[in-house]
Every structure is written in structure tokens, then in C-alpha cells.
Structure 1
Amino acid sequence: MRASFPGTARLRSPAEFAPALKGRRLAKGALFVLSVAPSAQPRLGLVVGKRFAPLSVSRAALKRVAREAFRLRRAELPAGDYVLRLHARIPQCSLTSLKRQARQEIDSHLARAIKAHDHRPA
């Protein structure tokens, strides 16, 4: 199956983000917090604010990395609205190392979401 990320797999309006932000927190890392709320399919929302990533190039890079990681794992993820929120100021480093750090953290958060679903009692 080809990994895709159609518009229907994105959270867009504040009304779509609210339940996930108030929902269960699955994982917290150095940069991101992953929250989830029940939904019919896996959908992604991103909150990457100027407060923690002042440069627009950094914000855009973090969002691209997050969307790509989600796109590749989307078929494995249980149905739910997932929100990745940047919760800490990004470190002073090169863009390449920032993207590498973000990708490792996001991959581990998504793996945790898959693992949490696999270990739930039926």
C-alpha cells in the first residue's frame, strides 16, 4: 500500500483540535507532546508556535518532518485524532540536526501510540 497524506487525514479547524488537545496524552519528549482523541480514522494536527520556534524556517521544517513521519506510519496507527504540540523552545543547532532530533522523537511517539493500541485488552 502506498503511504499517503490526503486532506481528510489533517485536522484543520480549532473545533477539530480541541478534543485531541483535551484528550489523552500519549507521549512527551524533549520537544513534542502527542495527544489523541477518538476518531474514525488517523488524522494529524500540528501546533508549532512562534513562542518555541521563532524562525519561520524552523517551524516549517518541523511541520514537514512531522507530516512525513505521520504519512509513513498512518496505515499502522489506530484510528484517532493525533495532535503533536511543540512544548519546549528548540535548541540552538543546525536545521539538519534539529530535523534529525525531531524525526527521532516523533517516530518514537508514533511507535508508542501503535504499541499502546496493540496492548489494549479486547
Structure 2
Amino acid sequence: MPSDFPSAARLHRPSEYAAALKGRRIARGALFVVSSPREPASQGARLGLIVPKRHAPLAVTRNAIKRVLREAFRLHRQTLPAGDLVFRLVNRPAPASLTALKRQVRAEADALLGRIAKC
């Protein structure tokens, strides 16, 4: 299936996250910053997520944010350039229902991934 999300499409090691965070910031939104390492990758697009407890104190909120980001990445993966992408939550979301939060995260994720795909 072309739109699956295999293990090879995820970042696993702390060194992979560190390289992406030391790299360049390629997109920024109201909630997220997307970073990528400076050296190009030969494999396809891979995703890493950083959702700190400081910005999303409830586990339900953190897990919902990660689930929505993974799904957005999975759908955009074929159009993205090869390389690692780390989504980092940098601002606390406004208090809202979980449904409203998911909509906000999905809209921002789609916008950021669309910008990255055009580069």
C-alpha cells in the first residue's frame, strides 16, 4: 500500500533527532516548528515527533497530537522530499475540546507539510 507508515519512515535513535534539531528550521506555524538535518538523506521522508509535557500536560492531549501528526505525514509522505523531519510542539495549544484541538493540529500539519513539499 503506497500510503502506509512503516518503521523505516520513523526516526528511532536520539542521534537522529539531535542531527535534525541541530540542522535547519524549514517551517514554522503557530504550534509547531519543523526541523531537518543539514546533510541530505538518500532514503525517503522520515518523521520524528517531540511533544513535551510542558506544552501539553495531559497524556490524552499529547497522544492525540502525535496521532494526528502521524496521519497527516502518512498522507503527504509521497510528495515530500527525502530527508528527516522533526515536528516539535513549541507553544501550548489554547484550551479547547479534543476535537477542536485535533482540527487545529491537522490544519497546521497539512499547511506545513504542503509548504515543505513545494520546496
Asked whether the two chains share a fold, i.e. TM above 0.5, the reply is yes
Give the conservation status (yes or no) of the 8 Å contact 1:34–1:83: yes
Residue 64, structure 1, aligned to residue 92, structure 2? no
Residue 113, structure 1, aligned to residue 116, structure 2? yes
Give the equivalent residue in structure 2 for 1:14.
14
TM-score with structure 2 length normalisation? 0.94
Structure 1: gaps (5+ residues) = 117-122
**Per-residue deviation at 1:2?**
2.8
Residue 24, structure 1, aligned to residue 24, structure 2? yes
Residue 86, structure 1, aligned to residue 92, structure 2? no
Stretches (4+) displaced over 4 A: none
Deviates further, 53-62 or 35-44:
35-44
CA distance in 2, matches of 1:77, 1:113: 7
Match of 1:103 among 90, 98, 106: 106
Tell me how many residue pairs correspond in the alignment. Answer: 116
CA distance in 1, matches of 2:116, 2:28: 12
Residue 55, structure 1, aligned to residue 58, structure 2? yes
**Per-residue deviation at 1:91?**
1.0
**Per-residue deviation at 1:42?**
0.4
Q: Secondary structure at 1:78's aligned position in 2?
A: coil
TM-score with structure 1 length normalisation? 0.91
CA distance in 2, matches of 1:108, 1:26: 13
CA distance in 1, matches of 2:28, 2:81: 19
